Amino acid sequence: MNKTKVSRKNSIGTNNPIWGGRFNNRPNSIMEEINSSIHFDWRLFREDIECSKAHAKMLAAVDIINDKDEKQILDGLDTILKEIEEGLFKFNPELEDIHMNVENRLTDLIGETAGKLHTARSRNDQVATDFKLWVRNAIDQSDQQLKELQSALIDRAEEHTNTILPGLTHMQNAQPITLGHHFLSYVEMFGRDRSRFVDARKRLNECPLGSAALAGTSFPINRQMTSSALGFDQPTRNSLDSVSDRDFALESLAAASLCSSHLSRLGEEIVLWSSSQFKFIRLSDSFSTGSSIMPQKRNPDAAELIRGKNGRISGSLFSLLTSMKGLSLAYSKDMQEDKEPVFNAFDTLSLCLRAATGMICDMTINVELMQKSAGTEYSTATELADWLVKNLDIPFRKAHELTGKIVKLSESKSLQLWELPLSELQRIEPKITKDAQKVLLPCSAVQSRNSFGGTSPDQVKIQINDARERFL
């Protein structure tokens, strides 16, 4: 939280700094502690000041306040913004939240005119608007960081259109694929994440300001003006829903959670690939850590933390879902619990995206070992089954059975499929020719997978061009 050299008294009453004449005594210190949100919602200061400036300009435009009042308010808000940015502002927990802290300081600066700013609005519509602005900015940042991660993945895919590695199912060697194809699979995942964020942003981009506490206002305000000034598409259509709605936060958290799960999968593969059992990649010192007791260790902690922080982000979603469940309309103080999980989730997501991009750019790839591993565990058996279907007109189920027998024969002789002599293959199926042996090499298997979206180098090159056009 920002510190300050500014010392001042509360300007909104001695006994009741916020609620004015309704109460005679100050709240209990425990009540003040549980009720205050300034220790986290201070982060809304830019959005709050932006929102207040738009509101002040609208009030002046419809003659609710005069031009002199407008100028004083706007100048005062600019002063407060500068104080906060320069660390000269002291946030006061007794004033509960960012809204009252700003208003209180504005009163210090311009006197009673500051009180006119709250005409035709409530903290309910004010916080809903501030929070929407913050979430919208967080979505935009996430989209940009996802784009940078996609760009790094596409660049690495282009470097490795011909690099062969084992494709796995059930964590067992399944079929050879290209590394470029593997990288592009994450490009597609993160592309869907971006589309979810874009969709959530579109839905949230309606302005609650002017809904007041829950019922609208009797003042002749211009909600279209404030909506446009703040970059919203339009004002919200129902004042009751406007101050009650946190769907935008939940939907954005849901998108962040799914994105985090994709990052976790990527982190898991980096952990596996960098292990001594795989040795497919090596991370530099920049993205590795050591051990306090074992001098030889090189740990992929960044990847492990990306994997682990999925729990934090998904937990934020469930936290807010639980807080919002069963709330009657309109605003309830429970909704103060909305900001911390959102702040935490997007802070965490931003860090994970930057770390993932760094590791993708940083990793050194052991091409030779990848390719050697891709040919093990009879990973080209499907190619033989396909050859039997295409060349001998054998039904696939029968071809599958015959190939299984050939795999069993190879295993008994400790040979790879392409190492079996033709005579041995013909013991299982006499019509097999030497052409069948050619398809059993991993490089041939990869080249043959040339269907749309397949793993062949030619298809990967097409996918790279397509991905650049769609995402970058």
CA distance 351 to 339: 18
Using the CB atoms, write b or e for 420-454: b if 16+ within 10 Å. Answer: beeeebeebbeebeeebbebbbbeebbbbbeeeeb
Q: Is 181 among the residues known to form the active site?
A: no
Q: Which of 75, 67, 131, 69 is nearest to 99 (CA)?
A: 131
Beta carbons within 10 angstroms of residue 367's beta carbon: 16
Q: Is 291 among the residues known to form the active site?
A: yes
Query: Which of these is catalytic: 170, 276, 423, 451?
Result: 170
Beta carbons within 10 angstroms of residue 418's beta carbon: 20
Any idea which residue has 């933390």 for tokens? 305
HEC profile of the chain: CCCCCCCCCCCCCCCCCCCHHHCCCCCCHHHHHHHCCHHHHHHHHHHHHHHHHHHHHHHHHCCCCCHHHHHHHHHHHHHHHHHHHCCCCCCCHHHCCHHHHHHHHHHHHHHHHHHHHHCCCCHHHHHHHHHHHHHHHHHHHHHHHHHHHHHHHHHHHHHCCCCEEEEEECCEEEEEEEHHHHHHHHHHHHHHHHHHHHHHHHHHCEECCCCCCCCCCCCCCCHHHHHHHCCCCEECCCHHHHHHCCHHHHHHHHHHHHHHHHHHHHHHHHHHHCCCCCCCEECCHHHCECCCCCCCCCECHHHHHHHHCHHHHHHHHHHHHHHHCCCCCCCCHHHHHHHHHHHHHHHHHHHHHHHHHHHHHHCEECHHHHHHHHCCCCCCHHHHHHHHHHHHCCCHHHHHHHHHHHHHHHHHHCCCHHHCCHHHHHHHCCCCCCHHHHCCCHHHHHHHCCCCCCCCHHHHHHHHHHHHHHHC
State the catalytic residues: 170, 291
